[in-house]
Amino acid sequence: MSCENCQQIEMTIKAPQDLVAAIKLVKSKIKGGILKYCGAGAYGEPFSKIDRGKNWGDIVNNYFCCTRCQQIISLHAETYHGSGGKLEPVEKIEGELNDDKYL
């Protein structure tokens, strides 16, 4: 269940500029202490490789959690075919996370 810290962290990604905006939003929430990085999901690259808003791979699949309520937030997009994605709260992490860090 989301709290007042994280309940507004949600975006639909339909175009590259939407993905850039989602990445910037997550990065600012990490710097502000609202989110912490959990890791990259299946086929996703570490957030540290895409945090500048460019040079992402075909699949963006990263997980974050709220530092207050532990709500899991997923940033996922399929960029190869341009089918888009979302930044959204999810109930659980799908699959295993890559053991990467984001500072």
SS3 of residue 42 by DSSP: coil
Residue 1 lies in a domain: no
Residue 75 lies in a domain: yes
Cα separation of 95 and 84, whole Å? 20
Q: How many domains does the chain have?
A: 1
Residue 5 lies in a domain: no
| pLDDT, position 100 | 78
- Reported as a single tens digit per residue, the pLDDT across 70-97 is 999 999 999 877 788 999 999 999 988 8
Q: Which residues of 59-70 are buried (b: 16+ CB within 10 A; e: fewer)?
A: bbbbbbbbbeee
- Reported as a single tens digit per residue, the pLDDT across 9-48 is 999 999 989 999 999 999 999 999 999 999 999 888 899 9
